[in-house]
Every structure is written in structure tokens, then in C-alpha cells.
Structure 1
Amino acid sequence: MRTEDLTDPDAGHPGRWPALAVLCAALVVTTLDNTVLNTALPALADALTASTADLQWINNAYTLAFASLLIPAGGLGARFGLRRALVGGLVVLAVGSAAAAAAGSAGQLIAWRAVMGVGAAFVMPATLSVIVALFGPRERARAIALWSASAGIGIVLGPVTGGLLLEHLAWGSVFLVNVPLVAAVLVAALALVPALPGRPAGRFDAPGPLLCAAGLAALVDVIVRGPERGWLTGWSLAEAGAAVVLLVAFAWWELRTAWPMVDLRMFTRRAFTAAGALLAVTFFALFGLLFVYTQYLQLVRGFSPLKAGSGALPFAVAVALAAGASDRVVARLGARRTIAGGLATMASGLLCLSFATTTTAFLPLALVMAVIGAGMGLVTAPAGTAGMAAVPREKAPTASAVSSVARELGGVLGIAVVGTVVSAAYRAELLGSLPAAPAGAADDLTAAHAAAAALPPDSAGQLVDAANAAFTRAMNAGTLLCAAIALLGALAALLWLDRARVGKAEKRRQTYENFSISNER
């Protein structure tokens, strides 16, 4: 019996809600892997004698593999079956995690982090695509809202989980914990997620995935490493040029081949393109903030990894609650106002955070993070729903992958740009207040604290105080930038998203789905 025969066009698949729980759990595990490493970096530096460049690559290897393979993975999942892509990605993720926990050098850990990124690239787009396939139009927005809440929870639970494990166990525990988590999700996926058939239409588009992966890899790498080696150096400019050439070649090929992996005509639908851009803006602000905020909590405020991670728990709770209720907010206000309101709420929270000092108490910081989380929760689910509603259901796997790429590129760009701004501001602030600072202290806050350890107590205290104040002011500048980006996103949502257009797109797709399912029966 065909899977579609089990699906009522309005109600959806009878096993959709248990499957949704599994898909949300898979997404939590995947997004947790993206942030769990942050609190473990100091321990990794000691255990593996890792340099700053090594630590950057340990973090970036996952991001690079993940972002560059999202679209090819979505296309392969659509062709060979979504559950196969989900299960295969989970297996690769578990193997990579177990091997990473046993790594004996920074080089080995970098390689296994890349393997973990490959597995995650197959998991994330498959989860959203399965939701679109299983849920009918009446419940799809609610399901995507719950899925988005899971993503927000996973992003912030990473630092909390890492801090909790490092309080009692060695650094390898932050990777080894994935193995039982992934195993449980894998068993549940095989039992509860329907084996949706692929759509192997025509020849396999081999050049498409290769060009796309290579172009995205070059683009992500130049964004990630731009602050380190300089945006206008020969290598950065050459890599940026290669990314443009590869992605243009990918677009040219996809528009001319008879069997494209990605239908680029999706981008002619304003709701789809606008939703992706707004998701990129949201994750730019979020990841730009988290990059400096975790350093502020641990180095400036002196919190333990566990307490620093728990400072983000209000954010996670707020994201979950707001995203879970966002479909009802959209029903009252419409997608355009909800998304714009969410970005404006994020901007207001970021603005408040930009007034933080070296002595700001823990509770106000947690409350402000809750405001930022509530704003994000009101953006991600409605934007995801609006984007998916703009394309036919059979395009869901690649549309989901494109949406994930928008999130990832936004986050990577946020870290790179905000990191550059904060680094420059920190150097200027420290040298302005302490011109005789030791060599290297102006490079970053960690280096300043290390330099202070070799000084007499009075000089050490002066350097630490000056460095902490300089970093806090620099963080405030970076947070203001994130607030400005979020506010511009709110204005763009009001201009780009039209509630009537989004509603018409959803109705067109519902009509198409009902017609297609009726014909298949």
C-alpha cells in the first residue's frame, strides 16, 4: 500500500504525532551538537595541547561540513527516501561522536567533527520534510511550530549539557553523550517514522550536488576564516571568487539540466525567499550574541561552565513557549505581524543587554535572554511555515534544506561579523585605557587573563580589570549591532511579507496536494 493511501489530505498520516516527537528529538540532538562544544574548548586546549587555530577548526569543521552538504543531502533524501536519509544521518552522527570522544589529537578531533557534520546535514532537512509529508494543512503550522521550538531548545541546551558534563567528567563526555541519545532516537525513528518513498524521477543529477557542496564550502570557509586572516587578503578574495564561480555554475546547471537536484525557480516565490532571508537575519543576531555572551559569562563574570550554560535556560524555555504558541499568534495577527513583532522583541532584548556591565547580576541577564528567546520563537516557526507553504509538497526536502542553509549561513556570518567588531573594539578599548598592556593582551580576553597570571598581583589585577571592562564594552557594541540587524529584519518583514500573498500560497498548495492525492488514489 502506498504511503499516500494512509494519509487524509486534511488530517494527515495517522501516526503523525508520535513521528513528530521522534523528529523533534532528532533535531534537538543535532542542534545540541552545534553548541555543546563551546563550554569544552578550554578543557580541549589543555588535554590535546590544541592551539587557538586548532580550537577554531574543531568548532568550524562541523559547521563547514554541515552547511556545505545541507542542500545536496536534502536532494538525496528526496530521491532515495526521507527516512533513509534520517536514519543514515543518525548512524553517521553516532559513529562520528564515538570516534571524536576517543580522539588522541586535535587533528583527529577535527576530522571526526567533520564526520559529525556530514551526519547532521542529512538529519536536519529530513526532519522538516517528513513533517510536511505527514501533516495535513490544518495541523502543519502547529507541527512546524513544535519543530522550531525543539531547534531553539537544542541550540541553548548545548552549553548547559556541556557545562554539566565537564563539572564531573572529562572533555570526551561532551561527544560520548551523543551515542546513547542518537541510539534512542534511531530506534524510535525505525519504529515510529513511516518509510516515505523517494521520488527518483529521471537521471541522478551528479554535477548539482558537487557544485553546490563545493560552492557552499568555499563560502562558509571564507566567512568563518575571514576575521582570522583578513577579509581583503589574497586568499580570502580568491576563495570568495571561487565560491561565486561555483555557485553561479551550480545555478546555471540546475536551470538547464532536465533533472535538477534543486528547482531554483522556488526563489521566484517572494514568500519563500523572504522567509529564508528573515531566518538568516534571526540566526545572525542569535549566533553573533552567543559567540560573545558565553565568553562574557565565563571570563568576565567568572561563572563556572555549568552556571554559564544555565544562564541560557530562560532563553530555551522562552523559545519553546513562544514557538509552540506561534501558530495561534499567527491565526490572530498574521505571519507578517508575528514575524516582525518577534524580530522587534529580539531587538529590544538585545538593546537591553547592550547596557551590561562587568558587575551585572545573573538574574537580569537571564531575564533579558528570555525576552530574546521569546522574540526568536515568534520568528522561526511562522517564517518556516510561510516558506514551506510557498512551494509544492514534493519540493519540501530541498526547500527544507535551503531553509536550513539560510539559518546556518546567517549564524556563521553573525559569528564572523560580530566577532570582528568585538575584536576590533576590544583592542581599541584596552589600549585606550591601558596603553602599556603586555604584548598579546590586546589580542583577546583569554590572552589578557593568561598574561595577567605572569604579573605581580597589583599589575595583574589592573590588567584583568581593564581587559574585562574593555571586553564588556566591546560586547555591548557587538550586541547593538545584533539589535540593529534584528530591527532591520522586523522592518523588512513588514515590507516583504504580505499576509494575503502568504495565505494565497498556502491555499494554492492545499489545492495542489488534494488534487495530487486524489489522482494517486
Structure 2
Amino acid sequence: MSTPSGAAAVPRISEAVHRRRWAILVVLMFSLLIVVLDNSILNVAVKTIATPEPVGIGATQSELEWAINSYTLVFAGLLFTAGLLGDRIGRKKVLLFGILVFGVGSALAAMSGSPTELIAYRAVMGFGAAFVMPATLAVLMNVFERDEQPKAIGIWVGGVGLAIAIGPVTGGILLEHFWWGSIFLVNVPIVIIALIAMILLVPDSKDPNPGRIDPLGVVLSVVGLVLLVYGIIRGGELSDFTAASVLLPLLGGLVVLVAFVLHEKRSSHPAIDIAYFKKPAFSAAVAAIALVFFALMGVTFFAAFYLQSVRGYSALEAGLLIVPLAVAQMVFAPRARLVVDRFGARAVCTAGMLLIAAGLSAFAFFDASTPVWVLEVVFFAQGAGMAHIMPPVTVAVMQALPREKAGSGSAVTNTFRQVGGALGVAVLGSLLSTQYRSRIEGHLEVLPSGAREAAGESIEATLGVAEKLGPAGKALIGPAHEAFLHAMHLTALSAAAVALIGAVVVALFLPGRPKAEQEDGSERVVTGAGR
């Protein structure tokens, strides 16, 4: 991959920083672990939190989605601004601030007395995480030389896999021995260790010539992203994307974001150079990130209910079953650069997308008695597919920008990831709920009208009513499982279709095997994703 204009003017990394670069990477991964760990823990805890007191807090399906989405809404809305602030005032400062806020939010979330409090404190955690995520990748780009960046990014992505593996297992152990709030309280000691390590090891860095701040651009980006993500979430909550309360924020968000783009194109000091999106490889890379997380986040949401509500596994057992997905990422992500060097980003990412699509399609054939080894193979395949997509597309985005704009580049990748994930949870979650409700309604006629509506909201709600009815409720269990499996099959195929669209995008627009001319005229392969 050729060096973009502007990058050559950046001075070489100092020798002191260069010597401790791998220790710094470990600290950055530890910081990343905090953010990803919490979300992966929450995925196996949704069933427990939905249980009435004293075991849980009796959160409804809608409240559970908002416990996830309040975090996403704030996180996605502030990512771009947080990346800009890191470039301007220093990434280390922003990182320390974000980790501290995340720790405070975690402690408050652990003590939540109601679903409303949990939703609010999750928003605080999202606020902190918005300053952590882009800063970790921006610091990485500033402590590694260009030739080592693909390897470092692969390890960084593998760290996400590690968090995905640790999260469900840790969550399951905590839920078996402690109350549900422990899944948030566990973040606090990790935050303390990360803060100390950050202060001691991580160097500060920022854009040496940030120019004037662009307050209008910042406001437009925040308002546009918040409105867009809120509309997406609201549509999933109502299972209706034509309602006025959905269309107004969606359209408003799109209008504001268009205004943001027009403003950036005309600004003498833009927050990000919109011209980068004219490059097919850059745009295809960020689109691939969004499509991958659209497909996987929606499936992750219903997989927890499939494993626990239909298959009857405990939270810990469900967490252990998901471990192969994370193990595949840990194994393959750090080595993805080697495959890209040999075959090119286009072939590798297309194959990864097709593998994810195949894994999602497999969910359409799962039932209540599918052998466990089949589940494990599918989860491993999905992890392997993701491990061969995220490192090369992240390298493509980050190396397209000058090093001093690393915070902005990191914010772009994470913004598309979060918006894609929010769309996945909203759209696929809406499809799942609608299909489940249509299948189970005919079996709820024996219930009073008020209980009938509540019982039809989700499989967990139906099983909760069945348990309260005692022996008379057993007749609802079979239909609930059948209704959920039908809904899951359709949702999984829809997610697979999105992954196939992603495969087409990367096959058309990502670069092939990168080559460069040597002095003697022969060609050699260049490390990196190319563009």
C-alpha cells in the first residue's frame, strides 16, 4: 500500500516509544477489553435481567433493547467528536477521561434499582466508551511504524475476540455466584488497573497542526448521528419503520448528516476530508465494517435466547458455547495480514464475508435438538470469517489517512461499526419480534387480554407466564419454542442476505493483491491492505 500524501512529513517515532511499543499495545488492548467485555457479558445476562426481582429487575424485551441501545445511541453519537478531540487535545488525555467515566458508569449500573436506572447508567458508560474506542486505535497508529501497523491492528482485532471469549464465560460465572449487577461491577477493578498502566506507559500524541476548531461540524455530526441512531432504535422497538416517531428522526438525521458533509466539503478546516470517501477502497472498507456488524449484532442478540430459552443452557453454559467464535478471531486475526499479502484484500475479505453468510444461513436449520458440535463449528466459522475481514478493512481505512488524523480515522471505522450494529439489532430484532408474535398469538387466547399482550412480546415473556400458571402453563412451552425457531430461521436468512451484499461490495471495490515496483523493475508484494 502506497504512503498517502501527508504521511511522509510525520517524524519517525521516538526510540523510547518504539522500544516499548508492544507493552503499549497490551495496555491499549486492556482498555479495549473493558469496553467490549461489558457488551459481551450483557449478551448472556439479558435473560437474568428480564427475570422479576429478586433475581433480576423484570426488564421487558423493549427495556432490554434500550439497555443495549442507550449505550449504542450515546456511543455512536459521540464517536466522531471524541476522535476529533483526541487529535486536538491529546489521545492519552481523552483515553484516561473515557476510561474513568466508563468505570463510574459501570459502578452506577451495578446498583440500578430499576430498568430505567439501568438504561440511564448504560448511557453514561456509552459516553465514556466513545472516548476510549477511537483513542486506542489512534494511539496504536502513532506508536507503530507503517510496516508493523497491519500486524499490530491484527493483534488489536484479536483482542476484541479475546474480550468476546472472556465476556460470556465471566458473565456466566458471575451470574451463577452473584447478583446480576456483578456483571457491571467487575469493570471497576479492570478500570483501575488500566488507568495506572496508561499513566505509566502510554505516550500522548495529537495533531501538531490541528487548525481552528469546527464547532458547527461537531454539532452537526453529533445531532445527525444521534437522530439517525435513535430512529433506527425506535423502529426496532415499535417493529414499524413507517411510524412518524421513526421516520422523523431518521429523515432528520439524514438531512443533518448531508448538511454536515456539505459543510465539511466547503470548510477550510474540515473535521475530516470528505474526499477520502471518493476512493472506492476506502468507502468499501467502511461499508464492509457496517455490513458485518449489521449481520452479526442482530444474530448475537437472538442467539442468547436460543441457547438459554430454547435449549435450556445456563448463562455460563451459553457463554462457553460462544467461545469458539472468539477463539477463531484470536487465532486468525493477528495472522490475517499474511493471507492478505499472499491473496490480496479483495479475495480475503470476500471469502470472509461468504463464510459469515454461510454461518448465518446455518441458523436457519437449527432446532431444539441440533447437536452441540454443529453449533460450535458454525460459531468458529463465523469467528474465522470476521477475523479475515476486520484487520484488512481497518488497515485500509487507517492507512488512507495521515498519521496525525488517526483519531478521525478511528472514529470513522467505529461510527460505521456502531451504526451498522444498531441497525442490525433494530431491524433484525424487529423482524424476530414480529414473526414470533404472529406465530404465538393463536396459542395465547386462553389468557386474559392484558396478560396475552405481555406474553406475546418475547419467548422469555411467554415462558415467564407459563411458569406462573404452573401445570396449566406447560401447554405454552412447545408453541413458544416453535414460534421462536420459526422467527429465528427467517431472521438468520435475512442476516445472511446482508452478509452476501457485503461480499459483493468488497469483491467489486477492495483492491486485489497489492504490488509495487522494485528498482530493477520486478514486482514485489507489499504488506498492507492496499487501496
TM-score (normalizing by structure 1):
0.91
For residue 138 of structure 1, what is the aligned residue in structure 2? 147
Alpha-carbon distance between aligned partners in 2 of 1:106 and 1:430, rounded to the nearest angstrom = 26
Contact map agreement 1:80 1:199 (CA 8 A) in 2: no
Question: Of residues 344, 348, 351 in structure 1, which corresponds to 2:354?
Answer: 344
Question: Of residues 35, 39, 42 in structure 2, which corresponds to 1:34?
Answer: 39
Per the TM alignment, residue 182 of structure 1 is displaced from its structure 2 partner at its CA by 1.3
For residue 518 of structure 1, what is the aligned residue in structure 2? none
Change (3 A) 1:297 1:170: same
Larger displacement relative to structure 2 (268-277 or 493-502): 493-502
For residue 517 of structure 1, what is the aligned residue in structure 2? none
Question: Of residues 454, 457, 469 in structure 2, which corresponds to 1:443?
Answer: 457
**Given residue 450 of structure 1, which amino acid in structure 2 is its aligned partner?**
G
For residue 245 of structure 1, what is the aligned residue in structure 2? 255
For residue 20 of structure 1, what is the aligned residue in structure 2? 25
Alpha-carbon distance between aligned partners in 2 of 1:496 and 1:502, rounded to the nearest angstrom = 17
Question: Of residues 140, 149, 169 in structure 2, which corresponds to 1:160?
Answer: 169
For residue 492 of structure 1, what is the aligned residue in structure 2? 505
Per the TM alignment, residue 57 of structure 1 is displaced from its structure 2 partner at its CA by 2.5
Query: Aligned Cα RMSD in Å?
Result: 2.5
Alpha-carbon distance between aligned partners in 2 of 1:503 and 1:487, rounded to the nearest angstrom = 31
- Number of paired residues? 503
Alpha-carbon distance between aligned partners in 1 of 2:48 and 2:458, rounded to the nearest angstrom = 18
**Given residue 216 of structure 1, which amino acid in structure 2 is its aligned partner?**
L
1:166-201 per-position Cα deviation (integer Å, ceiling 9, x unaligned): 111112211111011111112111222112244353
Alpha-carbon distance between aligned partners in 2 of 1:308 and 1:7, rounded to the nearest angstrom = 46
- Residues 34-183 of structure 1 correspond to what in structure 2 (within 5 A)? 34-45=39-50, 46-47=52-53, 48-183=57-192
Per the TM alignment, residue 320 of structure 1 is displaced from its structure 2 partner at its CA by 1.0
**Given residue 453 of structure 1, which amino acid in structure 2 is its aligned partner?**
E
Larger displacement relative to structure 2 (253-262 or 234-243): 253-262
For residue 475 of structure 1, what is the aligned residue in structure 2? 488
For residue 516 of structure 1, what is the aligned residue in structure 2? none
Alpha-carbon distance between aligned partners in 1 of 2:259 and 2:486, rounded to the nearest angstrom = 44
Contact map agreement 1:393 1:509 (CA 8 A) in 2: no
- Residues 244-323 of structure 1 correspond to what in structure 2 (within 5 A)? 244-323=254-333
Change (3 A) 1:332 1:442: same
The percent of aligned pairs where both chains have the same amino acid is 41
Alpha-carbon distance between aligned partners in 1 of 2:182 and 2:208, rounded to the nearest angstrom = 40
Change (3 A) 1:323 1:97: same
1:460-495 per-position Cα deviation (integer Å, ceiling 9, x unaligned): 333211110121121111111222221221222111
Larger displacement relative to structure 2 (104-113 or 204-213): 104-113
Alpha-carbon distance between aligned partners in 1 of 2:353 and 2:27, rounded to the nearest angstrom = 29
Change (3 A) 1:276 1:437: farther
1:381 aligns with 2:391: yes
Per the TM alignment, residue 99 of structure 1 is displaced from its structure 2 partner at its CA by 2.0
Contact map agreement 1:391 1:509 (CA 8 A) in 2: no
Per the TM alignment, residue 363 of structure 1 is displaced from its structure 2 partner at its CA by 2.6
Alpha-carbon distance between aligned partners in 2 of 1:490 and 1:241, rounded to the nearest angstrom = 28
Matched residue SS, 1:212: helix
Unaligned residue ranges in structure 1 (runs of 5+): 511-521
**Given residue 492 of structure 1, which amino acid in structure 2 is its aligned partner?**
V
Alpha-carbon distance between aligned partners in 1 of 2:528 and 2:292, rounded to the nearest angstrom = 26
**Given residue 324 of structure 1, which amino acid in structure 2 is its aligned partner?**
P
Question: Of residues 394, 414, 437 in structure 1, which corresponds to 2:404?
Answer: 394
Alpha-carbon distance between aligned partners in 2 of 1:509 and 1:138, rounded to the nearest angstrom = 8
Contact map agreement 1:31 1:154 (CA 8 A) in 2: yes
Change (3 A) 1:385 1:240: same
Alpha-carbon distance between aligned partners in 2 of 1:221 and 1:32, rounded to the nearest angstrom = 24
Alpha-carbon distance between aligned partners in 1 of 2:125 and 2:11, rounded to the nearest angstrom = 33
Question: Of residues 397, 408, 413 in structure 1, which corresponds to 2:418?
Answer: 408
Alpha-carbon distance between aligned partners in 2 of 1:448 and 1:479, rounded to the nearest angstrom = 22
1:194-222 per-position Cα deviation (integer Å, ceiling 9, x unaligned): 12244353322122222111111111111
For residue 465 of structure 1, what is the aligned residue in structure 2? 478
- Residues 230-241 of structure 1 correspond to what in structure 2 (within 5 A)? 230-241=240-251
Unaligned residue ranges in structure 2 (runs of 5+): 1-9, 518-524
TM-score (normalizing by structure 2):
0.89
Contact map agreement 2:165 2:327 (CA 8 A) in 1: no
Larger displacement relative to structure 2 (258-267 or 312-321): 258-267
Contact map agreement 2:363 2:488 (CA 8 A) in 1: no
